[in-house]
Structure formats: C-alpha cells, structure tokens
Amino acid sequence: MSLTSNPAPVDWQKASYVAAQAADARVNVELETEGMILNIGPQHPATHGTLRVVVRLDGEEVVWAEPICGYMHRGYEKLTEVRTYPQVTTLINRIDWLGSFANEVPFILGAEQLMGIEAPPRAQWIRTIFFEMARIANLTLFLGDMGVQLGALTPVFYAFRDREYVLNLIESATGGRFHPNYDRIGGLKDDLPRGWIDECQGAMRKVRSFCDELEDLLMGNEIFQARTRGIGVIPAAIGLDYGMSGANIRASGIDWDLRRDSESPLAWKEVDWKVWTHPDGDSFARYWVRLQEVREATSIVDQLLEGLPAGPIMSKVPKIIKVPAGEVWCHTENPLGEMGYYIVSQGGLGPFRCKIRSASFNNVSILSWLLKGVYVPDVITILASLYFILGDIDR
Amino acid sequence: MGLVPGAVKGLGVTLRTMFKPAVTVQYPHVKEAPPTRARGVIALKEENCTVCMLCARECPDWCIYIEGHGDKAPPRREGGKPRTVFILDRFDIDYALCMYCGICVEVCPFDALFWSPEYEYSEVSIADMLHDKDKLGEWMATVPEPPPLEVGAAAKK
Amino acid sequence: MTALPLLAIELSYWQATAIKLGAVMTVIPLGSLVLVYVFLFKMMSHMQSRLGPMEAGPHGTLQVLAEAGKFLQKEDIFPARADRAVFGLAPVVVIVSTFMLYAVIPAGPDLIVEDLDVGVFFALAVGSISVIGILMAGWSSASKYSLLGALRSAGQLIAYELPLVLAVVGVVIQAGTMSLQGIVHAQADGEIFGFGLIGNPFILTQFIGFVIFLIAAQAELTQTPFDMPVAESELVAGYMTEYSGFRFLFFFIAEFGSAFALSGIAATLFLGGWYVPFLPDGLLGNLAGPAVLGAKIMFVAFLIFWMRFTFPRFREDQLQAIAWKFLIPASLANIVVTGILKVVM
C-alpha cells in the first residue's frame, strides 16, 4: 500500500476503547474481568497537581494501587548543572512553590559551608523568621485544603484570607509573594523595611486566631473526625522504611525534627519551642500535628522578632561567586518534610551536580502500601492528609 | 467546652463570619497598592547603561536582548585621546520569559535597572510582551524610592 | 372545577388547569433563582468572608440570569460511548419529578393546584422518582466516575426516603389528615394548652420529626454533608460529570427546585404553611399567604444551606449507618409516642 493512498476508514469508538485498554496495560496491569481500574488523575481535583494514582477497585474498596509521578518533571537537577549559583537560587524557589523561602535555605547553607562563609547573626535570624513564615504560608493552605477534599467548602476561604497577611509581609520585604528569591550566599538581599516587625506581629496574631477558628469549625467537627480517625494509619516502622519525613512521621509518634536535631546556623536554638507528635498515625493525627506546628511557628516568629539582633545582613563575599571544589550535604526541616541538597562543586560559577532530595517524593511512595483495602473516599482523605506538592515530587 | 458538640461550634463560626464585613477588594473599582519593593516590572534608565551586557548574561532565561555600537566621544581634557563610549541601540526585555527574579537589577554595576511595582501591563498576544527601551524608560516614572529600613539595620554604605 | 371563587369568575377545567400550570411554571424557576442568588451566591460568600457576584446588576442580582444564559448557549455534548436516548432523557426525568412536587403545596387558603386527599403521600412518592433519573444519568454516561456517583446516590436516596416518610407520619397522626391544606388548617385552628392565638405549629410537638425531616431532606437533595454522589473533590460532579449546557441546567434547576419544594413541604408540615395569626380573609389572604409561605421557606432553606456550607461530607457507609441505625429508630419512636399521646389526650 503506498503512502498516498487513502487508508481504510477508522472505527473511532473501537479504536479509543482499544487505546484505553492499552494505556491500562502499560502500567503492568493484567487485564482481568473483575475489578474496575480507576485513574485518579493526572487531572483531578483531589491530587494537588498532576499526580496519577491508578487503583483497582473491588466495589468501592481498593485492591491495588500505584502512584505514577513525573507529569510535572522540569529537569531541575540537570538545570542546576548549567546555571550559576544566583540563577539556581531563583529556580529552586519553584520546587515547593508554597513553602517559598524554605527551598532556598538548604542550598545556600550548603554553598556557604563549601565556601567557609558564615552569614552575620541578623541575617541568620531573619532567615529563620522567613523560614517559619514559609511554613505558616504552606501549612495554613493545607489546613483549609484538607477541608475541601473532605467536602467542607468554607475553611479554605479562611485559610486564603489569613495567609494573605503573611504573603503581603513576604512581599513587602522581598518583592515577591510566592518566590522571594531573598537568600544570598553570605546573607540576605535587603534588610527589612521600616514597620515590618510590628506588622508581622499583627499577622501572627491573625494566624493564631485562624487556628482557633479552624479548631472550632473543622477539627472539632464530628463528621471530620469520623472521616479521618483511623484512616490511613502509618505505623512508625513502615513510615521510616519508606523515608517519610516531616509532620507525616511525627504524627506516627516519631520525635524527629531537623530544626532541633541537626546542626544548623539558623536561629532555632535561640528560641523556646516544642516539637509536636501524635501517637495515632492516622489522617486526623497528621492534621492535628500540622495545626499545632502552625501555632508553634507563630510563637517562634514572635520570639525571633523580639530578640532580633542589630547589624549587617551580608558578610563579605566576592562579587563573582565561585564556590571552591568539594561536596556537601545540607538538609532542613521544610514545611513538607526533610529537604536536602547534595552539592558537588568543581570550583565553577555554578554547581557541577546538585542532587535534590525533596520530601514529597518519599511521602508519596508509601501510597502503594497505604491504599490497600481502603475505600475510595478514604483514598481522597489519605491523599489530602499526606500533603504533597507536585513540584516537590517531580522537581 | 466539652458540652457543646463540635458541629454546633462550627455552625457558630460560619454564622459569625457571615455578619463580619467581607475582605474582598473589588478590583478594578478599588486597587490596592502593592508594597514598595514589589517586583512588578523592570524599568531602564538609559543614560546609565554602558552596554556591559552583564544583565543579559546573568539572566537565567536569557530574556534580555541588547545591541549596541561603539562610538567616539570627545576627550575629557584638552589634548587627550577621544574616548570610546558604547551607545545602546536596542534593549528589549521579553516579559513572557522573564521570571521576575531580579538578578539583572542586582548585577547591573551602573544602576541602570530598577524595580517598579507596576503590574497592569498585560497584552493580548505573547509577541506584544517584548518591551523595548522606550517603554522600559517610561516605567522609570513609576519607580518608587527605596523604603526606609527597620530598626537595627546596618546603615547603607 | 373552578378556581378563585373570590373573583367570582367561572372557569372551565382546561382554563383553570392552564392558569395553574402557568403559575407553577413561573414559581419553580423564580423560586430556584431566588434560592440560588440568596443562598448560593450571597449567603455562602459572606460565610466565606467574601462578597460573591457584584458586577452583573446591582450587587450581582442578574448573575443568575447570566448563568442561565451561559448554560443555554453551550454546545450539547454527547460522550462517544453514551447511550443517547437514555442520556438525553435522564435530566428530564429528574426535573419532571421536581415539578410534580409543586402540585400539592398550598400557597394560600385557595391557592393550590390540586388539593389531594393524599397530598403528603403523593409528594413523597413523586419526589423519589428522581432516583431513576440519576441512575439513568450515571449509567448512560459511559464513565466510571459517573457510574460510581449514580450508584452511591441510588443507595443514599433510597436509604433516606424512609426517615423522610416516617418523620412525616407523626405530623399526619397529629393532624388527622394527609391533605396538605388540611394540615395547615389543623395547625391554624389548633391550640397550645388552650392558648389559641398562634395556632399550633407542629414544630413544637414534632420537634424530633422536624429535625429528622431536615436531615433526611438534606440527604434527598444530596447536599453536604450527604453529597457523596456529587462529591466535587472526588468524582468531579458525580453522575452529572458528562453533562453540559442546558442538560446540566436541568439538573441544576432540579436541585434548587427540589430544595424550594422540600422547604415548602417542611414549612407547611411543621411551621404552619401560609398561615399566620390575623391573616385577612378573602383576596388579601390569598395575596399574603404566598408571602408568608415564602418567608418560612427562606428560613428552612437557610437552615439547609447553613449546614451545607459548614460541614464536611460523610462517607457512604457512615451515611447509611446514620440512616438505618439512627434516624429510622428515632422516627419510629416518634411515631409511637405521637400515637399514644394522640389517643390519650
């Protein structure tokens, strides 16, 4: 048959049916007659972005599940090989786009370690303040968002309303609401504008009242508790096996927080604060732990604002930054979990290779174990309570 | 605290919020002013630019297009050699690519680029997002003074 | 059969029916529009600290018309593998079931389409026909999400029919009649311990019945916390996922029309319907009656939508457990107590 002749007319219905079956088969699924294959995602309101979870259902119960990520892969680690350090700082803001500043910190700290530079104390304190504000911005969205996944339409609006104050503060100091691009090797870009400290204290009060409101509206609600208690229990040992981190593992009872347990030049050791854990390990525990973490973050910010040392915010660094050859691993307790950068430098203008360890990738890997034997609405509850950001999974 | 069921407390929260004023700002009838440092758009002060190309090189997206040519200017003193100066022919920023990171503004050694909080410059076609030096120069009028710094900040040198 | 004896006009049967039909066909969209605007647009927005639509008309009053127009001008899409006849018929079945509810709700002393002796029974029976429409919609959409939504809703609606009906039985026992007009008169002429000024609205004696009716109505309307069939964050729109344009508008009008009608039935059964003390007789009474009923409907609808915007949703099995293990025994107990008290007192 020549290439120019008209091919036989296509039966589109049959073709699309066959293609759908083939797409299912490509994920190593044996085509059985019983059990319905359901694709949750990649376009779905419940997966925060383009995550695809393929489940096989028996009625409403999940028999087998597999998360498929990569729909949002942007090639970060390759990008870092061909960009300079300031350019990489700009790009990595966008990995976990809600916990904006928190993405920059481990990278900058790692580069500073390689260069042997220490930022002045005022810079370290302000970095900690912004880190905690990133945590507040990130987790308040979670608190409202889990309500929406469960059907309560109202808490998410309160969440957006009250995190506006935090975002406005970040914008007035750095210029960007979501991508501050504020951290520099050796310190920070600019000092805070006049009146920022008072405004920040006001915003922390509003966030605290939001937490109280949400306790009344959502967390204390019997329906919410019936939907989340006992759902998606992650035993501590399994969680550690899968490399979960952050509030997910603290909700299973593991008392581990990198802010307290690892050496860091940032100012957490200077203030009084508490690590919250919960013994149950279910979805309610994860919500509860994150609510307490938001409150704790506001208290940390208040203490830091009161004791903020005066001084410069940038130490002496050369104009063109060339980080000496070496390797460093630097990790921090980001809002989503443990985020770390393994930077390999060969003395150039940018990293030679940068491995990014993002929290959500490990948090999502537990889904194939966790979703077995769970009902479809509970799948949504579990996805909501694990709280991943797609940019963080796929980078 | 333990006597009122959580469901009833939740109903109370929504009822109370219903009677408080809404927080909506009705754009475009009411426009909130962005903070002074807001990264809205980049403005160009053409007389300061020496066509050193640093901003175009450091941009992560390579969205700045610069063309210039060398020229001879009169010598500074009597009897000296004519100086070479660079004249800016073309300075375009493609705002469809720009990441609003601010690296170009930071690295410019001659203070030719400034941030402005202007944000109402959307276009209907992507090609129109490429703004030339005349438009960038117009935006210089919207560049605010840098805000005074907080207590405890070191004085700017 | 003549209508409006007050106006002393003799109408033939078909003329009277045409007028009644016209009245019902205006009331249904009007009622739905008002409910959508007041509760869905404005009350929900203010509960969420925002303003809602403000641009179309003063304070967004014309937004509903704009939405209706938007739906009407959309492309009529049929999924490739959908069963066209069933797919097209499903919204019609649902909306017809809603329309028939309006046949028995009295709006004034003489304003009722048809005063059936079994009014309550008829209303509850035709209200449950919408289940068939929902199943048709879910099955014919040829989509797994729609099917899940339809199956969930069938289970839910059937389960909550029983508490709905049983809650009403207490009222029927107390009123002694199933006719809705008769129930309003029973409340109007009743007395509370000999004090006859405000009549005897059955909400006072049948408070448990009222609560059960409201909860069951919430489930019948598939509103949160019982909106599993339309769980927006899971199934996108449940059985309505594949619908667009005016077919989706049918479902939408059916939802709010049913809300209006069920609120009307609740107001009639428990709050006294169109009756208010010192209601004038004659023509004035027939003009004031709908206004009174309208106010009571707004109150009941306020309760329904207040619950909708505050609570998260139940899971399907929790939903069924509440219906079978809690609501039905409670309503049966209510019937027993009412019956005993009616005989004794």
pLDDT at B38 over 50: yes
Contact C80, A13 (CB under 8 A): yes
Angstrom distance (rounded) from CA C97 to CA C91: 10
Residue C3: pLDDT band (50, 70, 90) is very low
The residue of chain B nearest to residue C44, with distances taken between CA atoms, is B18
What's the pLDDT at A24? 57
What's the pLDDT at B115? 92
The answer as to whether B77 is a domain residue is yes
**What is the overall mean pLDDT for chain C?**
84
Q: Which of B37, B99, B107 sits opposite A175 (nearest CB)?
A: B37
User: In Å, what is the CA distance from A45 to each residue of A62, A145, A150, A335, C108?
Assistant: 19, 11, 12, 22, 46
What's the pLDDT at A1? 45
Chain B hits for C46, CB-CB cut-off 8 Å, are 17-19, 22
Q: Which of C47, C51, C54 sits opposite B17 (nearest CB)?
A: C47
Give one DSSP letter per residue of A112-134, joined into a string: HHHHT----HHHHHHHHHHHHHH
Q: What is the domain count for chain B? A: 1
Task: Spell out the domain ranges in chain C.
Answer: 76-344
Each residue's pLDDT tens digit, B52-65: 899 999 999 899 99
Q: Is B92 on the interface with A (CB under 8 A)?
A: no
- Measuring CA to CA, which residue among A292, A360, A304 is closest to residue A127? A304
Each residue's pLDDT tens digit, B18-31: 888 888 888 888 88
What's the pLDDT at C277? 80
Angstrom distance (rounded) from CA B117 to CA C126: 61
Angle at alpha carbon of residue B40, lines to B34 and B44, rounded to 5° = 130
Residue C204: pLDDT band (50, 70, 90) is confident
Place of tokens 């769970």: A374
Give the residue-averaged pLDDT of C27-44: 83
Contact C48 A154 (CB under 8 A): yes
Three-state SS at A329 = strand
- Measuring CA to CA, which residue among A265, A267, A246, A266 is closest to residue A257? A246
Q: Is B24 on the interface with C (CB under 8 A)?
A: yes
Give the residue-averaged pLDDT of C232-257: 77
Chain B hits for A174, CB-CB cut-off 8 Å, are 37
- Calculate how close chain C gets to A204, using CA atoms only, in Å: 19
How many residues are recorded in chain B? 157
The residue of chain A nearest to residue B98, with distances taken between CA atoms, is A90
Angstrom distance (rounded) from CA A138 to CA A12: 45
- A260-269, Cβ contacts within 8 angstroms, sequence gap of 24 or more: A262/A331, A264/A109, A264/A332, A265/A109, A265/A112, A265/A118, A265/A119, A265/A124, A266/A105, A266/A109, A266/A124, A266/A127, A266/A128, A266/A131, A266/A332, A267/A121, A267/A124, A267/A125, A267/A127, A267/A128, A267/A304, A268/A128, A268/A300
CATH fold for domain A76-366? Cytochrome-c3 Hydrogenase; chain B (1.10.645)
Of A349-353, C164-168, C177-181, C202-206, give the lowest mean pLDDT range: C202-206
CATH of the domain at B96: 3.30.70.3270
- Measuring CA to CA, which residue among A80, A5, A32 is closest to residue A341? A80
pLDDT at C31 over 90: no
User: In Å, what is the CA distance from A256 to each residue of A193, A278, C65?
Assistant: 35, 12, 56
User: In Å, what is the CA distance from A120 to each residue of A129, A190, B75?
Assistant: 15, 13, 45
A132 versus B73: the higher-pLDDT residue is A132
Of A361-370, C15-24, C30-39, C195-204, give the lowest mean pLDDT range: C195-204
What is the sign of the dihedral through the CA atoms of C45, C46, C50 and C51?
positive
Three-state SS at A145 = helix
Contact C239, C229 (CB under 8 A): yes
The answer as to whether B19 is a domain residue is no
What's the pLDDT at A40? 79
Phi, psi for residue A305 in degrees, rounded to 5: -65, -40
What's the pLDDT at B155? 65
The residue of chain C nearest to residue A162, with distances taken between CA atoms, is C49
Q: Complex ipTM, two decimals?
A: 0.86
Contact B153 A86 (CB under 8 A): no
What's the pLDDT at A42? 76
Q: Which of C49, C51, C311 sits opposite B17 (nearest CB)?
A: C49
User: CA-CA-CA-CA torsion for C50, C51, C53, C59, nearest 10 degrees?
Assistant: 180
Contact C88, C247 (CB under 8 A): yes
Q: Is B14 on the interface with C (CB under 8 A)?
A: yes
**Which stretches of chain A are DSSP H helices?**
12-25, 76-81, 85-92, 100-115, 121-150, 155-174, 196-214, 222-228, 236-241, 247-250, 258-261, 283-306, 359-365, 367-370, 376-386, 390-394
Q: Is B25 on the interface with C (CB under 8 A)?
A: no
Of A73-87, A300-314, C47-61, C330-344, give the lowest mean pLDDT range: C47-61
What is the sign of the dihedral through the CA atoms of A240, A244, A245 and A249?
negative
pLDDT at B1 over 70: no
**Which stretches of chain C are DSSP H helices?**
13-35, 44-47, 63-72, 84-101, 119-127, 130-140, 144-175, 180-189, 207-220, 232-235, 246-270, 282-310, 316-321, 328-344
Place of tokens 């309505």: C240
Give the residue-averaged pLDDT of C24-40: 83
The residue of chain A nearest to residue B155, with distances taken between CA atoms, is A312
The answer as to whether B21 is a domain residue is no
The answer as to whether B69 is a domain residue is yes
Spell A129-164 as b/e; 16+ CB within 10 A means b.
Answer: bbbbbbbbbbbbbbbbbbbbbbbbbbbbbbbbbbbe
pTM: 0.86
Contact C311 B10 (CB under 8 A): yes
Phi, psi for residue C107 in degrees, rounded to 5: -105, -10
- Any chains having at least 3 CB pairs less than 8 A from chain C are A, B
* Spacing of C-alpha B36 from chain mean position: 10
Chain C hits for B9, CB-CB cut-off 8 Å, are none
- Calculate how close chain B gets to C42, using CA atoms only, in Å: 10
Cis omega before residue A9 (within 30°)? Answer: no
The answer as to whether B45 is a domain residue is yes
- Calculate how close chain B gets to A349, using CA atoms only, in Å: 11
User: Where does residue C14 rank: exposed (0-12), middle (13-18), buried (19+ CB within 10 A)?
Assistant: exposed
The answer as to whether B27 is a domain residue is no
* Spacing of C-alpha C148 from chain mean position: 24
What's the pLDDT at C102? 87
pLDDT per residue of chain A (395 residues) written in tens, 0 to 9? 445 556 666 677 777 777 766 665 554 444 444 577 878 777 766 667 788 888 888 877 888 888 888 888 999 999 999 999 999 999 999 998 887 899 999 999 999 999 988 999 999 999 999 999 999 999 999 999 888 888 888 888 999 998 899 999 999 999 889 999 999 998 998 889 988 999 999 999 999 999 998 888 888 888 888 889 988 899 999 999 998 988 999 999 999 899 888 888 888 888 989 999 999 889 999 999 999 999 999 999 999 999 898 888 888 888 888 889 999 999 999 999 999 999 999 988 889 999 999 999 998 889 989 988 888 778 888 988 998 888 889 88
Angstrom distance (rounded) from CA C255 to CA B27: 32
What's the pLDDT at A3? 56
What's the pLDDT at C1? 36
**What is the overall mean pLDDT for chain B?**
86
What's the pLDDT at C156? 87
Contact C311 A46 (CB under 8 A): no
What's the pLDDT at A26? 52
pLDDT at C193 over 80: no
What's the pLDDT at A347? 87
- For β-strands A326-334 and B83-94, DSSP reports them as unpaired
For chain B, the helix, strand and coil percentages under 3-state DSSP, each to the nearest 5: 25, 20, 50
Angstrom distance (rounded) from CA A66 to CA A271: 42
Q: Is B10 on the interface with A (CB under 8 A)?
A: yes
The residue range of the domain holding B94 is 34-142
Phi, psi for residue C42 in degrees, rounded to 5: -90, -50
- Measuring CA to CA, which residue among A262, A264, A239, A266 is closest to residue A250? A239
- C184-193, Cβ contacts within 8 angstroms, sequence gap of 24 or more: C184/C106, C184/C268, C184/C272, C184/C273, C184/C274, C184/C275, C185/C275, C187/C272, C187/C273, C187/C275, C188/C272, C188/C275
The residue of chain C nearest to residue A43, with distances taken between CA atoms, is C236
Chain C hits for B14, CB-CB cut-off 8 Å, are 47, 306, 309-310
Contact B60 A83 (CB under 8 A): yes
The answer as to whether B13 is a domain residue is no
Give one DSSP letter per residue of C197-233, joined into a string: TT---TTTT-HHHHHHHHHHHHHHTT-TTS-GGG-HH
User: In Å, what is the CA distance from A314 to each residue of A86, A117, A184, A189?
Assistant: 15, 11, 8, 8
Contact A349, A320 (CB under 8 A): yes
Give the residue-averaged pLDDT of B106-124: 91
Q: Is C51 on the interface with B (CB under 8 A)?
A: yes
- Any chains having at least 3 CB pairs less than 8 A from chain A are B, C
Contact B16, B124 (CB under 8 A): no
